[in-house]
Chain A
């Protein structure tokens, strides 16, 4: 036994240099790409944020001008407001996800089929789904307004082409696509991680269903909820990108559904204001970073409140 140990130790010592070289070799393919297509662009983007450049003329160093313009532009704050507005669906979505997770956590025949179906929209997220929802929101012949007409007799709004309803329309679609997705799976795992004896004790004490939900399920799921919330907020700040490009083009009227991400997209690739767009993207990064800090500060605690 000791002989094997000694041989092992000896082997490790001799192999240290070799191992270092090997380590770098294993890392090399990924690191090259990572450096070229992630690390370098991040640095480049940071530098670019202090320049004014339209890709045609020489780039001009303008110091903090981009950031000042950004912070003083009412346009930008409107888009910031839009982005936050679209996040209004997060609490609703979380409640829906929790409810659905509890439903599919029951021991019922065929429950796996329901889980599969609930997860389906999340799988299909992408351009195809957004194209489909443009048709669903069609003011005249779309599914949504036909259902509204059928059940209430009232003519529905024009949704994506309505100044007021365009944002709620995006939220509703987001709820449909997201409720049964990642959050539901996370909640499901959380529910299955709760010690069943807690519920048994509650049963003996004669606690009702609501009491069990309020005093066992909710507190035990607090870390999961916190994680889902943080994740959704981070995604929310970066959200409204693909769907806005496909569904509304930032309108109507121009700007009504423009989010920070879409603003960056138009500034960079339509207006060719590369430096300014880079500055906006760094502002977005700061927002995400702030949320991440909150997560690190409070999320690590494994305390059930």
Chain B
């Protein structure tokens, strides 16, 4: 029968193509993984290089024989009472010039021994001491403290003021609301450099102006808590000038407003009838319902203020008031020859960022997509 013949032929064909397809899928998967891994390696490479360098001995960095896993060649000579660590200086096949290495790491006597007596062995060698040294030399402890404090204050303040303003823009009605919102929006495309210059002038001049105005010299004095230098009240080298300009941005207000707009009004109306004030609605209804947007804003603000660079660079002169980014730049200027310390410092600076990233990972995607709405 022609019908069944054709039918069976078709089944045969499809099962064959299915098998072929499965095999092709398998090959494709292997290729996909290979490409994925290659790109992943490219992305990780610089970080691995950084970590590797940070654990090396200074001499092992400025060399062309680079090993990913830090390692050194250790040489020994046999002595009467066991073996003696040495540094191999020259070996011509018959005799070797060596210098003894004493247990405390300093070098000792210069000796010439038969080549056969020298045993060289390579093994991995991680030098952890770079980290505490970088921490101390780069004054990173204070910088860390400054950065953490600045980041926390900016994050808290910004989320608070932005969510209040966003609530007003999204839910309350008052004259001039839309024009004001447009003004907020408009400033979002103004480059940072435009406001940087007037802000710089403002914060340089505020203390002197206040001094003359109030007939005092308080605003330019250095403040101490105990003997702990905490900068000036406002102006250059003050926490005030590091934190306050970062507290108010159009972006946070805009993003939260977009999110608040998407929350249904029903709940809120019911609450109003029950006598709930606007503040209560903001606190009890809007904020709890906006958790994803708030967390996203918190993470982005935190990371943004953690890596803030140009503003602190121009408004801070005293190393004690520097945040991590500026301290690292200073460290680079002073220790550019010692890559091991510099890389240890960069690792130290990046660790918190990585922790925040791992902890709040899923919010990053959301944040980027929320921000993209502005297009």
Report the bound CA distance from A136 to B47 in whole Å.
10
Tell me the bound Cα distance from A126 to B168 in angstroms: 34
Who on chain B is nearest to A112 by CB? B361
Residues of A within 8 A of B32 (CB): 103, 106, 108
Binds A, one of B71-79, B109-117, B124-132, B175-183: B175-183
In the complex, the answer to whether B43 meets A117 with C-beta atoms within 8 Å is yes
10 contacts between A and B (CB under 8 A): A16-B173, A32-B248, A34-B250, A41-B194, A45-B195, A48-B198, A123-B364, A132-B49, A189-B365, A277-B197
Would B161 and A33 count as touching, CB distance under 8 A? yes
Stretch at the interface among B5-13, B99-107, B309-317: B309-317
Select which of A11, A103, A128, A299 is within 8 A of B328 by beta carbon.
A128
**Highest count of chain B CB atoms <10 Å: which of A8, A41, A111, A136:** A41
Query: Does residue A82 face the partner (Cβ distance < 8 Å to B)?
Result: no
Interface of B is mostly: helix
Segment of A72-80, A194-202, A214-222, A284-292 engaged in the interface with chain B: A284-292
CA distance A24 to B180 in the complex (A): 11
B80 within 8 A of A: no
Interface-lining segment among B222-230, B289-297, B350-358: B350-358
Q: Which of A45, A55, A143, A292 contacts B49 (CB 8 A)?
A: A143
> Quick check: is A81 within 8 A (CB to CB) of the other chain?
no
Contacts of B201 in A (CB 8 A): 44, 55, 274
Q: Mark B157-191, 1 if CB is under 8 A from A, else 0.
A: 00011101101110011110100100110010111
- Nearest-CB residue, chain A, relative to B195: A41
B361 close to A288 (CB less than 8 A): no
A127 with B63: CB separation less than 8 A: no
- Chain B 332-375 near chain A by CB (<8 Å), digits 1 or 0: 10001001001101100110011001000100110011001001
Q: Does B22 belong to the interface (CB within 8 Å)? A: no
Question: How distant is A226 from chain B, measured CB to nearest CB, in Å?
Answer: 8
Q: Are A44 and B172 in contact (CB under 8 A)?
A: no
Cα distance, A100 to B248, chains bound together (Å): 35
Q: How far is the CA of A19 from the CA of B332 in the complex (A)?
A: 54
Question: In the complex, what distance in Å separates the CA atom of A186 from the CA atom of B369?
Answer: 7
Q: How far is the CA of A140 from the CA of B173 in the complex (A)?
A: 65
Contacts of A120-148 to chain B: CB distance below 8 A: 120-121, 123-129, 131-136, 138, 140-141, 143, 146
Residues from chain B with a CB closer than 8 A to the CB of A161 are none
State the CA gap A135–B61 with chains docked (Å): 11
A257 CB contacts on chain B under 8 angstroms: none
What residue of chain B has the Cβ atom nearest to residue A238's Cβ? B191
User: Which of B33-41, B87-95, B209-217, B231-239 forms contacts with chain A?
Assistant: B33-41
Which of the 9-residue segments A61-69, A86-94, A163-171, A260-268 touches chain B? A260-268
**Which chain A positions have C-beta within 8 A of B62?**
140-141
User: Which residues of B sit under 8 angstroms from A32, Cβ to Cβ?
Assistant: 248
Report the separation of the CA atoms of residues A141 and B49 in the bound assembly, to the nearest whole angstrom: 12
* Contact yes or no, A131 B342, CB < 8 A: yes
| Contact of A159 with B by CB under 8 A | no
Complex contact A143–B199 (CB within 8 A): no
Task: Beyond the given A26-B278, A48-B197, A100-B39, please list 9 additional residue pairs across the A-B interface where CB-CB is below 8 A.
Answer: A34-B248, A103-B36, A141-B62, A180-B43, A185-B364, A241-B310, A265-B193, A281-B193, A281-B196
Given known A7-B273, A20-B175, contact A282–B50 (CB-CB < 8 A): no
Interface centre among B187, B200, B346 (most CB of A within 10 A): B346
A151 at the A/B interface (Cβ < 8 Å)?
A: no
Chain A residues with Cβ below 8 Å from B61 are 141
B364 touching A119, Cβ below 8 Å: yes
Would you give the 0/1 interface string for A34-69, flagging 1 where the beta carbon is closer than 8 Å to chain B?
100111111011001000000100000000000000
A114 CB within 8 Å of chain B: yes
- Chain A CB within 8 A of B142 CB: no
- The chain A residue sitting closest to B325, CB to CB, is A127
Cβ B200 vs Cβ A128 within 8 A: no
A111–B32 alpha-carbon span in the complex (Å)? 11
Chain B residues lying within 8 Å of A158, measured Cβ to Cβ, are none
